[in-house]
Chains A and B, each alone.
Chain A
Amino acid sequence: MGSPRLAFVGTFVAGGLLLFAVGLFLIGDRRQLFTEHFELEADFGNVTGIVIGTSVRLAGLEAGEVLGLEIPAGPGERFAVRMRVREDLRPLVRTDSVAAVLTDGLLGAVFIQIRSGSTSAPEVADGGAIRGVDSIEIADLIEEGRDTFRVVADEFLGLREQMAGTFLALGETAETTAQLINDAGDDIQTVTNATAGLMEDVRAILADTRTLTGDLSGGRGTVGKLLGDEALYTHLVGTAQEAEATMRAVRGSAERVEQLVGQFGGEEGQTAKLLADASDAVRLARHAMSDLAENTEAIKRNWLFRGFFSERGFYNLDELALDEYRELLTRDRYTPLRIWIDGDLLFDTDLDGRVALAVDADRRIDEAMSELLIYPRDSPLVVEGYASGGGRGQEFVSSQARADVVRDYLVAVYGRVSTITGTMPIGSDATESPAGDGSWNGVALTLLVDPQHLTRGTHPATTEQ
């Protein structure tokens, strides 16, 4: 055998082994086998999808992997999951850090996300433990989604029937009105046009709703379909938005009709009949309007759409101006429950001069939160920051920093969903503060509770800690 052939054989074997080694290196590098690690443990009630080698992430960074699972001794106890985490990330893992089992998107792999802890807590020792938080399984979400769509479908169907009644009344009014246009003059003409326009709007909504409910009842409206079908999703959300717009139109038209009712109140005959019809129409329109409002509100609060609506500012607390926020508190939709916490013992300044929680702050916040924990976890919570002294600008900056620190604590320790846990830097003005002088220095935890849930507790409107 000639030497060129031998060279080819050598190249084949060496090259193959090298390529094989590259594969091993790529896998080893991904598993960070070549970096220093420390071990820690977290306990979970549910370990669906976690296996040896499951990825561990910290603040989105690849931080390590699962080394093993310890099966609990009996029912009701939790699984201990042992993890290996990169040594250079140890300063971020504190004793109050929280681990949660998450999924990379809807179809992605399961991984464990560690939330970095607070600066006041000590670093986790090698072999130490942090708290594990059980996450909702996607199967549960899908089941919830199915139920929600059933409810939405039923609600829309009910709404359609009610709106049909409204059409009839409005239609009769419009026909009667048409006969009387010449007698009643320009004002009636205006009402008729407005009513006709309104009917077109509502008809369009009903057409959309019918399509949607048809899709749902035809089995095409399952969560799987919705998740895979952007058009249907957009369609449903668009319908909700349209319903809101129409709701406003109904309200505007109703007010105009009401004004006319007042103007024609003393007249007799056909005009009086028109006005009686118009009054019925207004009443029915208002009823329908109320249902529309409830439906759109229900959709907004649904887990699937919450993100969509919050992105558009419905619940995006971070984008609310102070005046908007104050106006929000006056609405009937929520009842604000406020717990005031004095800032003197709550905050400290770290080595970099930044606002941080004082040593005993967690106990104070925990006490305050204990009064709010009886209400639904999906209630929006706003950490109002207050600070006095140093001018308006400085007050704003300080109150924002204070609110941020407390909010981070609530998100990390209480697992509050960040999109419904906002901050509001207010400065020093606090007309309702327990100090009695119209100012406050600290924070207030304001939970916006749906009034129907208020029966759960004593729900003090304001409490001082």
Chain B
Amino acid sequence: MPSWVNALFVLPMARVGDSVLFAGRALAAALRPPFEFKETARQLYEIGWLSVPLVAVSGFAVGIVLSMHTRASLERFGAEALIPAALTLALVRETGPLVVGLLISGRVGAGIGAELGAMKVTEQIDALEASAVDSFNFLVVTRVVACIVAMPILTTVMNFTGILGGWAAESAVSGLGLFSYLRAAFSIVQFTDYLPGTLKTMVFGFIIAITASYLGINSSQGTQGVGRAATRSVVLASVLLIATNVVLVRLIFFVFPESAQ
């Protein structure tokens, strides 16, 4: 086999195959005892709770910006009354999930990649195995489960802080009250907008955790490899997340045709 075929096709495909097996193994392990509840809770704290300030502040800012842009567009048509609904629909359907996904892939993906990479190069993972601890279950599955659980919650936080930000911007212009704004905000949002948009972030969480864990656990070449693993985790997770989002949106439209209206 020519070396270029090996470099361009065989090796990358081998990595893809290996990562798919890695993901399948993580999924299977997540559903099978023993469950590492304490470590999962610790990861939930690290991944979820500690991300709340970042997500909340970002959501508030995104809400303000969206409100300003929506106002500029709708004002031309005298449709300012639609601003809360348009903003909420944009946030709940796409902006909230995607922004949270990218934020978490940056903050958490890099963290997982670097942490597991460091453990790998310092042979801490081997030490865990030597202590009869299932390192995969303890390090990977707990992070995957924590990411899957945390993402919809963080998305909800992003959505509501975004709506609050939108209200803050709107109230500064028109003096609209919070409850009136909330009523208008949810006036055209359907369950088929809210539920799939929020729950698809579980897939995002899975992608972020699996990508970062895979690259971290397979890192090599010392501290340089750790840095590379962290960077690649963020880049690859972000790209995969955006690409998967396209498929997920198409799938949501197929399952819930009314959400495409």
Q: Which of B141-163 contact A (CB under 8 A)?
A: 149-150, 152-154, 156-157, 159-160
Question: Interface digits, B72-88 against A, CB 8 Å rule (1 contact, 0 not)?
Answer: 00101111011000000
Question: Interface digits, B119-158 against A, CB 8 Å rule (1 contact, 0 not)?
Answer: 0000000000000000000000000000001101110110
Question: Interface digits, B179-194 against A, CB 8 Å rule (1 contact, 0 not)?
Answer: 0001101111111101
Cβ contacts under 8 Å, A345 to chain B: none
Distance from B220 Cβ to chain A, minimum over Cβ atoms (Å): 31
Q: Which of A1-27 contact B (CB under 8 A)?
A: 1, 5-6, 8-9, 11-13, 15-17, 19-20, 22-24, 26-27
A418–B182 Cα distance when bound, in Å, is: 34
Q: Please report whether the interface of chain A is mostly helix, strand, loop or mixed according to DSSP.
A: helix
Check B74–A8 contact: CB distance below 8 A. Answer: no
Check A20–B156 contact: CB distance below 8 A. Answer: yes
Q: How many A-B residue pairs have CB under 8 A?
A: 93
A273–B99 Cα distance when bound, in Å, is: 85
Check B77–A13 contact: CB distance below 8 A. Answer: no
Closest to B154 in A: A16
Check B157–A16 contact: CB distance below 8 A. Answer: yes
Check A9–B153 contact: CB distance below 8 A. Answer: no
Distance from B196 Cβ to chain A, minimum over Cβ atoms (Å): 13
A22–B51 Cα distance when bound, in Å, is: 21
Interface residue A105 (Cβ < 8 Å from any Cβ of B): yes
Interface residue A245 (Cβ < 8 Å from any Cβ of B): no
Interface residue A136 (Cβ < 8 Å from any Cβ of B): no
A6–B39 Cα distance when bound, in Å, is: 11
Distance from B195 Cβ to chain A, minimum over Cβ atoms (Å): 8
- Which of A34-42, A106-114, A326-334, A372-380 faces chain B? A106-114
Interface residue A51 (Cβ < 8 Å from any Cβ of B): yes
A9–B149 Cα distance when bound, in Å, is: 11
Interface residue A453 (Cβ < 8 Å from any Cβ of B): no
Q: Which of B176-231 contact A (CB under 8 A)?
A: 182-183, 185-192, 194, 198
Check B79–A105 contact: CB distance below 8 A. Answer: yes
Identify which of B41, B44, B79, B187 contacts A106 (C-beta below 8 A).
B79
Closest to A106 in B: B77
Cβ contacts under 8 Å, A109 to chain B: 188
Closest to B160 in A: A19
Check B182–A20 contact: CB distance below 8 A. Answer: no
A109–B188 Cα distance when bound, in Å, is: 8
Cβ contacts under 8 Å, B183 to chain A: 30
Check A13–B149 contact: CB distance below 8 A. Answer: yes
Cβ contacts under 8 Å, B194 to chain A: 23-24, 27
- Given known pairs A8-B49, A51-B261, the reply for A27 and B189 (CB within 8 Å) is yes
Interface residue A322 (Cβ < 8 Å from any Cβ of B): no
Closest to A110 in B: B261
- Given known pairs A27-B190, A30-B187, the reply for A20 and B44 (CB within 8 Å) is no
Q: Please report whether the interface of chain B is mostly helix, strand, loop or mixed according to DSSP.
A: helix
Cβ contacts under 8 Å, A8 to chain B: 45, 49
A53–B260 Cα distance when bound, in Å, is: 13
Q: Which of A32-75 contact B (CB under 8 A)?
A: 51-53
Distance from B45 Cβ to chain A, minimum over Cβ atoms (Å): 5
Interface residue B235 (Cβ < 8 Å from any Cβ of A): no
Identify which of B92, B157, B189 contacts A19 (C-beta below 8 A).
B157
Distance from A170 Cβ to chain B, minimum over Cβ atoms (Å): 43
Question: Interface digits, B246-261 against A, CB 8 Å rule (1 contact, 0 not)?
Answer: 0000000000001001
Cβ contacts under 8 Å, A53 to chain B: 190, 192, 258
Interface residue A138 (Cβ < 8 Å from any Cβ of B): no
Interface residue A228 (Cβ < 8 Å from any Cβ of B): yes
Question: Interface digits, B38-51 against A, CB 8 Å rule (1 contact, 0 not)?
Answer: 10011011001100
Check B45–A27 contact: CB distance below 8 A. Answer: no
Cβ contacts under 8 Å, A28 to chain B: 191
Check A108–B79 contact: CB distance below 8 A. Answer: yes
Distance from B198 Cβ to chain A, minimum over Cβ atoms (Å): 7
- Given known pairs A12-B153, A109-B188, the reply for A1 and B48 (CB within 8 Å) is no
Check A1–B41 contact: CB distance below 8 A. Answer: yes
Question: Which residue among A9, A24, A105 has the maximum number of chain B CB atoms within 10 Å of its CB?
Answer: A9
Check A9–B49 contact: CB distance below 8 A. Answer: yes
Interface residue B68 (Cβ < 8 Å from any Cβ of A): no
Check B38–A1 contact: CB distance below 8 A. Answer: yes
Interface residue B30 (Cβ < 8 Å from any Cβ of A): no
Interface residue A359 (Cβ < 8 Å from any Cβ of B): no
**What are 13 contact pairs spanning A and B, CB under 8 A?**
A8-B49, A9-B45, A9-B48, A12-B52, A15-B153, A19-B157, A20-B152, A23-B92, A30-B187, A51-B261, A53-B192, A106-B77, A109-B188
Could you tell me which A residues sit within 8 Å of B by CB distance?
A: 1, 5-6, 8-9, 11-13, 15-17, 19-20, 22-24, 26-31, 51-53, 105-109, 227-228
| Across the A-B interface, the 4 shortest Cβ-Cβ residue pairs | A16-B153, A26-B186, A12-B49, A8-B49
A8-B45, A12-B49 known; 19 new pairs, CB 8 Å cut-off, are A1-B38, A5-B41, A12-B150, A13-B44, A13-B149, A15-B153, A16-B157, A17-B153, A24-B191, A26-B182, A27-B189, A30-B189, A51-B258, A105-B78, A105-B79, A107-B74, A107-B79, A107-B82, A109-B188
